[in-house]
Amino acid sequence: MARKARYILQTTVDIPADKEKEFNEWYNQVHVAEIIKCPGFLSARRLRSVQGDGPRYIAIYEIEHERVLETPEFNKARGWGKFAPFVIDPKPTIYQEIIYAEP
């Protein structure tokens, strides 16, 4: 039986259209694999908004506890890599990380 995650980490991002294809290839093929190898990460899922009222992309990670964000492995893998200068968001927040816990 699979372990049930107690916490969810949500990351949202937007990227200019001219960088989107390359960004998505990197995120899906490289970045998610790097993150999911970090201690305490259980699963990952990435979605694209179809409504257009917020950041275009969201990544949802199931994690064991909030301290997984403090590990050296996560701190090495986190971020936008070579795409950092291009990350945009029409809202005031460029990068958002929120952890949800079961009540």
The domain segmentation of the chain, as residue ranges, is 7-101
Q: Give which of 83, 91, 82 is closest to 49, Cα–Cα.
A: 91
Cβ–Cβ < 8 Å for 8, 62: yes
CA–CA distance, 33 with 90 (Å, rounded to integer): 28
pLDDT value of position 76: 95
Mean pLDDT by groups of 10 residues along the chain of 103 residues: 73 90 96 96 92 83 89 93 81 52 71
pTM: 0.81
CA–CA distance, 58 with 39 (Å, rounded to integer): 21
CATH of domain 7-101: 3.30.70.100
